[in-house]
Amino acid sequence: MGDDLFRYEKGDGIAHIFFNRPDRLNAINDRVLDELEEILQNLTKDMVTRVVILSGMGRAFSAGADLEMLSSLGQKEGKGELLWREKRRFGKKGSRVTKELENLEQITIAAINGYAIGGGFALALACDFRIAAEDASMWIPEVDLGVPMTWGTIPRMVGLMGPSRAMEFTLTCDRLSAKEALEWGLVNKVVPAGEALKISQEFAEKILKKPPIAVHLTKSTVRAISSFGLGDVTFCDPDFFQTCAESQDMEEAVRAFREKREPRFQGK
């Protein structure tokens, strides 16, 4: 595993995973998902680490899917089987990695600094706790980019803040401040700017003082209850994504976003 896309540190029962593409606002592409998945799979065999903190280097937690990658997919000639498979594979991989993060036996904390957008927000939402700096902001631009939000994010949002607000947040693509995210139930704490990682570390140390078996069983119980019926919904994520990913509207949405203009959608 390369060490350029992530900083990964372990010690004293706590693992720190940092997205490490600050020049790209920690945007997510295939390699990022591959390396994150490898880290998560290693953690499933780690009997010493009890808490995992996920954060980002620089001024963002993660800006979500790398638009350069999405643009390159959209610019491939034709709508053949190869292009279909590439788009579907990325969507399914994101769903799988997000679920692997959610299913870790360790307690997971997202220390949200700066932006948490799209897929970055999805990964934060898959953690057990979210601690956001007061200057952090969160939003899901997927609908504006011509695709529905996938990676199991919508069911998780519905569980946290109810169906109406989840739909509002997803369809409007509005930005939420850290304070608004706290009011809507998306984050656990809002802390002073620059202190999300510090407070997350202190919270992790507090968890470490609790009896491991009780912590594990508590997490398992809460996850089992909150995930009831989730599989019935998330199985269709890749199909919904694929339907939109093959559309001319998605290509237009990404192109307009990069060109900083209003998109001209045709419904096809």
The predicted-structure confidence for 212-248, as pLDDT tens digits, reads as follows 888 988 898 888 877 765 554 454 455 555 566 666 7
The predicted-structure confidence for 149-171, as pLDDT tens digits, reads as follows 888 899 999 999 999 999 999 99
Reported confidence tier of residue 66, pLDDT bands at 50, 70, 90 = confident
CA dist., res. 260 & res. 126, Å (int)? 31
Please report whether residue 182 resides in a domain. yes
**What pLDDT is stored for residue 265 in this prediction?**
63
The predicted-structure confidence for 170-205, as pLDDT tens digits, reads as follows 999 999 999 999 999 999 999 999 999 999 999 999
Please report whether residue 217 resides in a domain. yes
Report how many domains make up the chain: 1
Which stretch of 57-71, 127-141, 239-253 has the lowest confidence by average pLDDT?
A: 239-253
For residue 172, the surrounding DSSP H or E stretch is helix 163-172
CA dist., res. 184 & res. 159, Å (int)? 11
Please report whether residue 200 resides in a domain. no
SS3 of the chain: helix, strand, coil, percent, to 5 = 50, 15, 30
Question: Domain containing 105 — which CATH number?
Answer: 3.90.226.10
How far is Cα of residue 105 from the mean position of the Cα atoms in its chain? 18
CA dist., res. 251 & res. 243, Å (int)? 13
In this prediction the pTM is 0.84
Please report whether residue 207 resides in a domain. no
Structural domain harbouring 88 = 6-195+212-259
The predicted-structure confidence for 83-126, as pLDDT tens digits, reads as follows 567 777 888 899 999 999 999 999 999 999 999 999 999 999 99
